[in-house]
Each structure stands twice: as structure tokens, then as C-alpha cells.
Structure 1
Amino acid sequence: MLIDGIAGLKDQRGRIVIVGSGPVGLGLAVDLARRDIPVMLLESGESNANPVVQQLSDAELTDARRHDKMAVAVARRLGGTSNLWGARCLPFDPVDFAPRDFVDARWPIRYTDLAPYWDRAIRSTAAGANHFDTSPILSQDADDGFTADRLERWANVQAAQNVHADAIRSMPALEVRTRCTVTDLKTAGGRVERLTVAHSITGETVDIDVDTVVLAAGGIETTRLLLAAQKVNPGLFGGPDGPLGRHYMGHLIGEIADVTFSSSDIGRAFDFHVDDYGSYVRRRLVASDRTQIENRLLNCAFWPVVAPVADPRHRSAILSMVYLALSVGPLGRLIVAEAIRRRHALDKPQRIAAHVRNLIVGAPSAAAFAAQFFWRRYFRPERLPGFFVQNAANRYGLFYHSEQAPHPDSRVVLTDQVDRLGLPKLKIDLRFTDQDVDSVVCTHDLLDQWMRKVGMGVLHYRMPLEERAAAVMEQAAHGTHQVGLARMADDRTQGVVDGDLACFDLPNLFLATTAVLPTSGQANPTLTAVALALRLGDRLAQRMTSKPEVHTPMSKVASL
């Protein structure tokens, strides 16, 4: 059931209250409601985007070059940031969970603890199947320093509210409330006793009693609520000098090299395609666990991309058409996610005449490409996630998507300013370090050596050796993945929640968000966060049915 506003919102004892309706929160809510466990889901936004509500997420950016604008990083509406994302779904790798002495983080769970939940997470995101390996490009006896045989896949339905539309409409145990902004966690006796909920437009408030609360409002907004609670009770979450709000991570992304493949077949193998499990997939190049550990590398993935679309010297009618389309905001957002669009084009196109000349010369090919793209993206059951244009030279840009190492000075803090509903605003200071940059440069070099050795191709750097680190740092900017701000750990000095996502200091408060991930890996974090939420759902279901008097970690429950 979908209800707008706070009218009639009152005592929620006996229900699980989930704050936030993105893929994580909505996926958890539906999973619990399917078991006839009563769930109340509170969403700050409306069914559609409303700039008045969106402004509640405005924040101060210490360095605007490093962090996406908040309208790109956060979506206050039903479905959350799934309305903005590119819908890439892949799990974290086993190496991400392993102790690494060069990474300042320790996971309190193992990869095997999440393995049973990948299938359910894939179904919850409409992303095909739990299948992330494909047939080898190279012979079986090729050097295994890297692999080109791992897949990333995309959801066929982008927005979470559309994935779960039937459940929202018909599940008796699920009540979804829009225009309901949680502004305060009221604690007593080491528990969350009440939530203050404000109407997102009028500002009218109501306090509701609660038994169990799950914050799933995204990494930044979840952390903001916790920091506001800590401001009232400074001893919470490790105290002011504790882990809350620190270790903010996203990913390092960009291009410093091109790649020439040794054959057109190899280039073709990296194109988007629908696999046997019914969604679009694409190969990526990743260093083996051995290569990463031996060389003290952060996890990093690579894939070939088209030439920079903004530069008309590519003389491609298709790429010029793409650039001009991306430069028109509403049209560009139909093609790619907003964060991706902004990396390729400004809202006002540059060098228009040159792009128009390219388009005129190759008009037939551009028209055919456009028709096929929109057909495959909007009128097929499998949603085409992007575009890849093959060329006769087999030369492409080489895009990297690298793990960012946790660092305590990369953080968010409260400011003295408050939003329209009285919640303190954030100051965001996302920082990248020499370790992040050096790892990207070194991984490129090792990849080049490996590709030459196995006969797959060769890298061409766009700048000399002495300028590569600076080029990586110049491109270092993120803000949409929001990892590490309230990380899980073995104890409260190192993290905010335990391995079951329960807050150390408030055991009836749980976090289902990318903020709990201790490391960022090479993968987009959403699928892993959904899997963790579904694992939490099993624990909450057990609590609702057996009502144990003491908190028992899931790892111990599973061994009984």
C-alpha cells in the first residue's frame, strides 16, 4: 500500500520500520513482507522528483572538483538513487573480504557468508542471474596474472519502485509512506525508542514509537542521521573521534591510456550483449588475486570505451551524435545515467560546427545507430545499458574503475546550518591519496605487460610516465557510491555496526546501506549492499518469530 504524508502515522511497535526506499531499503521491505512480517517504509520524497524535497539533501562540498553535486549523488524520491544510476550489478570479489595489510580495514564477515544471498539479490534488482564468468578469450595455458573472463551485468529494470511495483501495490504486510522525512532518532536505555517524522513539504512533525529500525537512506543521508543523533548523545557510535562519518570512499574512475587489441574478435568480445540468463553483460579486465596481493594493489577493473565523444577529431558521425545528445540534459539522461552524462558532456555543447559536419557526412550510419540504440534500450525486455562502437583499427579508450583505500580524513561532518526541517546539513570532504593514485598507475603497467605477453594487445599512454599520477589525481572525483562512512567491524572502536548490521551502541537500530562496507572494491556497491540487507532480513525474521532476549550474531546462529 502506498500512502502520501504523515496523516495517521502513529505507534509502529510490532512493525519493522525501514527508512529509505532505494534498491536496498525497498528490497529488504519486500523480502520481509513476503514472509507476512509487518513493515513500514518511510520515504522522504514523492513518487516523482520534487526539487523542493531534493533540496533537503543540499550539502557543503569542501572541494567541488572531487565530489558530485548532491542532485547527482542523492535522489529523494520513491526508488531513491535507482532513478539516477546506470543499473550495473555485480558482487564484491573474494579478495575484497580478505585481510590485506596495505588496506586499513577488516571485514567482520567472509565472502562465504554472503555467497547464499547473491541469487536473491540478483532477483531483487532484476539483473538476470548469478552468473559472472564467461568463456575464455585466451587459451587455457595463458598467464593468469589478469583475466578477461569476468562479467558485469545490468538490471533490466532501472528504478526499484518499478521492480517492486506489484509488491508495493498488493502486499498486505507492506505500507510505504512518501513525503515522510525522519529528522531525529530519540534514544533511551540504549535503544531507539521513537522517530521524529516530518512531512517533507509542510514541515509538520509526529513522533512514533518503534521496536526495530533499519536506516536504508543511502550512505550519506544515513550517516547524517547518525551524526545528528551523536550530536545529542556524544558518546554514541564511538564518540566524536570514532569511526562514524570517516573513511569515506567511492572509486577512482577515468582514462589515462588507449588500448589496441590484437584482433577484431577481441574487441568485439568486450561489447555489450545479452547472455543466456536474460540481461546485458560485458567483459572486464581484472588483476588476479595473486597479482593484487603480491604487488599491493587496490582492486581495479578495466574495459574498452569509445574515443572521447567531445573531441570531433574522431570524425565519427555516431560519436558526434552521441555528444550532441548528451549535451542536452533531458535527452542525455535518457541515454546514460546523469553522473556518466556529466563526465562526457557539458550542458552547452562545444565545437558544434565540427560535430555537425561529422554528423552530415555519416548521417545514414548515425541514424541507424540511434534507431537501434533506442529500440534496444526502451522497447526490449533486456535494457541496453550504454553504447560501444567498434572500429577497424581495434583501438579504444581504456576506462578504469578502481578501489579507493579507506582513510580517516576522508569524511563528512555536520555544519552549523540546518535544512528546512531542522536537520543539520553536512560538509563533505572526499579525499584521494597517493596510495589510490599509485595503485591505478601500477595496475596499468602490469596490465600492459600481461597483454603483450599473452598476445592480447598493447596500451598507449596519453601522457609520459612522469605525468600519469597527476593525470589520475586530476580525474579523481566521485560521490555516487558512498562507501565506508558507517562501516561494519568487530568492535565499536573500528566501526558503527557489527557483522549483522546492528549498531553496537543501539542494538535495535540496523543499517542497510553502502556506508557499512569497510572497503570499496572494484565493483559498484549496490548489489553487495542488497545482499547484506537480505542477510539482515533473515536475522530480523528470526527476531520477529522467536524474539530472542539477547543478540546472537548470524554467524553463530548458522552454526547451531
Structure 2
Amino acid sequence: MLLTDDAEAYDLCVIGSGPAGIILALDYARLNPHKKVLLVEYGIKQQVKENQLDSSIQINNPVNHHQPYECTNKGLGGTSATWGGRCVMYDEVDFEDRPILNGNCTWDKNILTDIKDHLPKAAEYFECGKPDFDVAALTNVTPRPIAEGFKQGIVTDTMLERYSMPTRFGDRYATEIAAQQNITLIEGFEARDFEQPNAKSKVSFLTLQHVATQKQVIVTADKFVLAAGAQESTRILLRNPQLFKNVGCVPAALGKYYQGHLSGKIASVQFYGDPKKTDYGFIKDSDGVYTRRRFQFNNKFLKDNNLLNTALWLDNPLYFDPKHRSGAMSFMYLAMITPVLGKKLAPPAIAHSITKGRINNIPAHLGNIARGAPRSFTKPAAIFYKRYISKRKLPGVFLYSPKNTYALHFHAEQIPFEENRMRLAPDGERLIVDYKLTDADVASVIKLHEVLDNWLRTIHCGELKYWFDKDELPQAIKNMSKDGLHQCGTTRISNSAEKGVVDTNLKVWGTSNIYVCSSSVFPTSGQANPTFMLGAFAVRLSRYLSYTEKKSKKTFKTQFQGVKSIDLN
């Protein structure tokens, strides 16, 4: 495909072809068959791992933040290429300002109400079944508590996480993108410089740079959407301060209030009842979609006690510790730490969550395998088929405990902390990421474990067994929590440029036609990973641009700098 001097302007230019970019481009193109859409992707087919963008990111806290190559992927489909498929819904409390957030919840429940209308369409794109996130919605399952004797109260057990195929958006939607006649996909281009907004705050031109040749092309569009992921969408805005000329200055929030999640295990839960009545693993809904239950906390309780939203779920003991005495777990652990093979079994961040980067007591693991044979091999073989061969992949591996004892995995909200930020280095190109966990983040995790423990004891259902002494818990949590996968906050939604970067329709303050569709617009991180919610925002933005944005009928010509035409094939 060629872009030439005679190319017409696009009605919509989408920068980035991850799940958000693909959903937005496809949905808008289908709703507006006479509108032209340009989808711009930095990566190319057979993209090599090393690339200029990720190599120019500096992480200042590698203990708690993954390196760029572990967080993102370049190429059509973006990070969905290594996504685990977990689809989770945000909660009402995530849209309510609480003292612990220090006034930094800059969206409200009106957005949640609005976004719910777009969940079914988002679920279609993610292939995760109906967007029902409560176990009561599973018509094929007889309702029962997560463990014998559990009762609802300040702790709940009804919320579900749902699982996509996992859908690799590049592979899944490449054919549909190619067949959509009003979508033009170009690969191997970086978004560089926007034109300064005119008196009406409109931006007409964007300079793209061909990654391989460094040649530049100016593209004209009626609307532009940054859907390049949190790091790159933020970097593009930081590099284009002229966009904010009409609001007087660059928004103070740009690049700041970066959040992810605290995640790890500090305790096990010992249930008192029949172990065969514990829902420890996956539940398939009537459509064959995998779901799983989570412990969460009543919204009112979180607000009244000024605590951060947190989910906990039943998990396996630590794989690297052979004291679990499971031959199957030891076999899978050794496979995961085996060079070459381990990299094929799971992406780096997921592999790290299993192995913790440790090679530990291999003889004891071999002993577990020998004692557990033949199930040490047959169980992993069955899991391998379901996880790697079946069309709908088994999302994970959770093993039954005859002792009714399970590790507890916590996944907790972070405070929107101003010093957690993305910023440009003095060269104006490199992106520096400052990130740390606050004492308040950690204290909330510990307190909510205590709440769960007290609740289980009160209802005579079970109790928690901590893995660390009480005074060791804060440092243990800080040592084990590592994110950078769930990037929120750096271009946050707000009702004014004084508080945020985009308005409630995701339009960049100071412009009339530039938008951001990235989890970076989420002012709070909640307990949920942001992928599914972002897909719903992409559908919402598509509908907004289609039905409520003013339609420009002008035709512009694409202009070029330094190159007559560029072969994009």
C-alpha cells in the first residue's frame, strides 16, 4: 500500500493497535462505512524484541516495576500478545472520592453508569462471554458459598473474574481489519509532532516518522486518538506541549499520579469445612467461558474505614518452595525455569509471578516428582493440553488441597501519588519512570488481611495463617509487589485542565479533536486490572465520535516531508 501526494485526509487517525486501538478503529469504521480510518502501529510483522521506544525507557525502581520489555509488546495487537486474558470490572467505590485518595479521584459514578451500556460490545471483542461479574448470573451453576460456612457481609465471595480466550487481538482481528475497506493500517511508524491548535483548538496535522528510514510524513485527520498504551501516549503528550497553548500551560497532572497494583502472597487461608465444597478453581459458565471467584470487601466498609479497594483469591503455594510436596507443581516449576522452554510457556512477567526469579533446591523438587509419579507427569500433561492446545485456553493452574488450605493472592489498589510519574529526560526523548509503594498502600493490604481473618473466624468458616511475623509484613509486601503491567493515572480524566489531562469524553484539554484511549486516563486503579474496562471505554469513544462529535466535511490533502511516497507493504 502507498501513501501519495493525492491521498485524502482521514476522518479518524488512531495511534496504536493494541486492544483499545483495534476496538476503536473497527467499531468506528463499522458504524461509519463512509468515513476513512487510519490505524498507525509502531511495530511491524515479525517485530524483533529490541526497539527504540522500549530501550529509551528508564525504570528507577526495578524492584517494584517490571522493565519495559516485560510490560509491553510492539506490533499489531500490542500487549494482548502476552496478555493472560483476565477480564475484571471496576467497582462503584473506584469512582468515589475517599480521604485516602487525597482528592485525586477525578471521575465519578456517572462515568460508571455510562460505561455499563458498552460492556456487552466490549465483551464481544474480548470473547469473554456475557459481561456478568457476579456468580449469581451463572445460570448453569447451583449457588453456593466459596467455602462451606461462608456468609456474606463486609467480605463478599460473589464477584467473578472472567477470562478471554485469551484473545490475541493482532491475530484475531487482522483479517477483519484488512477486509474493512475504510481502514488503512500502516505499520512501522512512530507518532511524533502535532500541529499547534488553532484559535478554535483544532489540530489538523500530525507528523509520523518511519521507524526504519527515519523519513517523515504529515498526515491530516479530522480527529486523532492516542491509543498507544500509557507509556507512549503519555510520552507523546509530554513531547507536544504546544497542544496545551489554549489552556495556558501544560496540565500539572500530565505524567503524574502513576499507579498500578500491589500484588503477592503473605498468608494462607485454612477453611474449617469440607474441602470438597471449596470453589478453589475455575467455573465454566453456560457458554464455556472460564470464570473464577474472588474475595472482595463491601464498598461502604472500604469507604467508612478509609481503605483501598482490594481483591484476594485462592492460589497455590509458592512453586519454588518444594515444601508443598506436589510432584505436579515441582514439575511445572522446573519446566518454567528451564532456558528456552520456560520462555515459551509464559511471558516474562507471568513467569516471574510463578518462579519469583529463583532457582531453588532442585534436588528436593526432583524428589517431589519421583514420589508423586505418575501424576507428577499426567497432571501437567492434561493441563498443558487445556492451556496450550484447546481453542479456549485454561487460564491458569489451581490444585485441589485435601487439607482445605490455600495461599491467598492479594491484588490491591494504589494511592494516586504525585511523585509516581512518567517524565521526559533532558534530551526530550527518553522516558523516565519514577515509581514506589507508599506506606499507606502497604498498610491497607495488611489491614484487609486482618479484616478477612476476623470475618472468617467470626462466621466459623476459617482463619488466616501468615507466612511472616507481623513486623516483617510491610517489608515483605514491598519486596514481592512488582507491577508496571497495569499502567493508570498519567493522563487522567477530570472536569478541568487544572485537575487532569482529558475530559470525561477523553478529549485532551485545550484541543477540540485529540483524544486519549488508554488506561492512563483512569484516575484510580481499583482492584481490577484495566484491560477489559479500557475496551469498554474504546467502544464508548467510538460511539461518542460517531454520534455526538461535529462532522467535518472538508477534504484535505496529505502532505509529505522529505519523501514522495512510502511503501507500507
- Give the whole-Å Cα distance in 2 for the aligned partners of 1:33 and 1:459: 52
Is 1:403 paired with 2:404? no
Residue pairs, 1:76-95, within 5 angstroms? 76-95=74-93
SS at 1:102 equivalent: helix
Q: 5+ residue gaps in structure 2?
A: 136-142, 555-569
1:71-90 Cα deviation digits (max 9, x unpaired) = 01121111001112211111
Q: CA deviation at 1:357?
A: 2.2
- Give the whole-Å Cα distance in 1 for the aligned partners of 2:465 and 2:6: 63
Correspondence for 1:552: none
Is 1:387 paired with 2:383? no
- Give the whole-Å Cα distance in 2 for the aligned partners of 1:401 and 1:178: 35
SS at 2:239 equivalent: helix
Residue pairs, 1:103-252, within 5 angstroms? 103=101, 104-108=104-108, 109-134=110-135, 135-137=143-145, 142-189=151-198, 190-230=201-241, 235=245, 239=249, 242-252=252-262
CA distance 1:273–1:54, change in 2 (3 Å): farther
Contact 2:244–2:509 under 8 Å retained in 1: no
AA of the residue aligned to 2:342: G
1:94-131 Cα deviation digits (max 9, x unpaired) = 22112323212221543211110111111111111111
Is 1:492 paired with 2:497? yes
Residue pairs, 1:31-70, within 5 angstroms? 31-35=27-31, 36=33, 37-53=35-51, 56-70=54-68
- Give the whole-Å Cα distance in 1 for the aligned partners of 2:8 and 2:319: 52
- Choose the corresponding residue for 2:11, options 12, 15, 21: 15
- Give the whole-Å Cα distance in 2 for the aligned partners of 1:536 and 1:124: 15
CA distance 1:409–1:72, change in 2 (3 Å): same
SS at 2:118 equivalent: helix
SS at 1:540 equivalent: helix
- Choose the corresponding residue for 1:30, options 22, 26, 31: 26
Correspondence for 1:553: none
- Give the whole-Å Cα distance in 1 for the aligned partners of 2:209 and 2:10: 21
Residue pairs, 1:363-512, within 5 angstroms? 363-417=373-427, 424-512=429-517
Higher mean displacement: 151-160 or 185-194: 185-194
Higher mean displacement: 237-246 or 210-219: 237-246
Contact 1:143–1:454 under 8 Å retained in 2: no
Correspondence for 1:557: none
Contact 1:251–1:478 under 8 Å retained in 2: yes
1:353-405 Cα deviation digits (max 9, x unpaired) = 22222222223112211221122123323221110011211112110000011
- Choose the corresponding residue for 1:338, options 339, 348, 352: 348
Percent of pairs with identical residues? 31
SS at 2:351 equivalent: helix
Q: CA deviation at 1:293?
A: 1.2
CA distance 1:301–1:348, change in 2 (3 Å): closer
AA of the residue aligned to 1:352: I
Correspondence for 2:98: 100
AA of the residue aligned to 1:229: N
CA distance 1:204–1:65, change in 2 (3 Å): same
Q: CA deviation at 1:247?
A: 0.2
Correspondence for 2:557: none
SS at 2:510 equivalent: coil
SS at 1:184 equivalent: strand
Q: CA deviation at 1:7?
A: 5.1
CA distance 1:54–1:345, change in 2 (3 Å): farther
Contact 1:62–1:429 under 8 Å retained in 2: yes
Higher mean displacement: 69-78 or 348-357: 348-357
Higher mean displacement: 405-414 or 133-142: 133-142
- Give the whole-Å Cα distance in 2 for the aligned partners of 1:57 and 1:482: 18
CA distance 1:57–1:489, change in 2 (3 Å): farther
1:111-162 Cα deviation digits (max 9, x unpaired) = 2111101111111111111111113407999341111111101101331123
Q: CA deviation at 1:10?
A: 7.5
1:17-53 Cα deviation digits (max 9, x unpaired) = 0001111110111111112132110000013331343
SS at 2:270 equivalent: strand
AA of the residue aligned to 1:251: H
Contact 2:149–2:461 under 8 Å retained in 1: no
Contact 1:238–1:496 under 8 Å retained in 2: no
Higher mean displacement: 55-64 or 504-513: 55-64
Asked which structure has the greater RCO (Cα within 8 Å, sep 6+), the reply is 2
Q: CA deviation at 1:267?
A: 6.7
Correspondence for 1:558: none
AA of the residue aligned to 1:525: P
Correspondence for 2:72: 74
Aligned length: 539
CA distance 1:312–1:8, change in 2 (3 Å): farther
RMSD: 2.4
Higher mean displacement: 263-272 or 35-44: 263-272
Contact 2:149–2:273 under 8 Å retained in 1: no
Is 1:532 paired with 2:537? yes
Contact 1:336–1:386 under 8 Å retained in 2: no
Higher mean displacement: 174-183 or 302-311: 174-183
Contact 2:457–2:463 under 8 Å retained in 1: yes
AA of the residue aligned to 1:196: T
Q: CA deviation at 1:266?
A: 6.7
Is 1:303 paired with 2:299? no
CA distance 1:266–1:175, change in 2 (3 Å): farther
SS at 2:504 equivalent: coil
Q: CA deviation at 1:334?
A: 4.4
1:507-550 Cα deviation digits (max 9, x unpaired) = 2100000000010010010111111111111111125675599x
Contact 2:275–2:402 under 8 Å retained in 1: no
Contact 1:124–1:163 under 8 Å retained in 2: no
AA of the residue aligned to 1:174: I
- Give the whole-Å Cα distance in 1 for the aligned partners of 2:337 and 2:59: 25
- Give the whole-Å Cα distance in 2 for the aligned partners of 1:367 and 1:93: 41
Q: CA deviation at 1:206?
A: 1.1
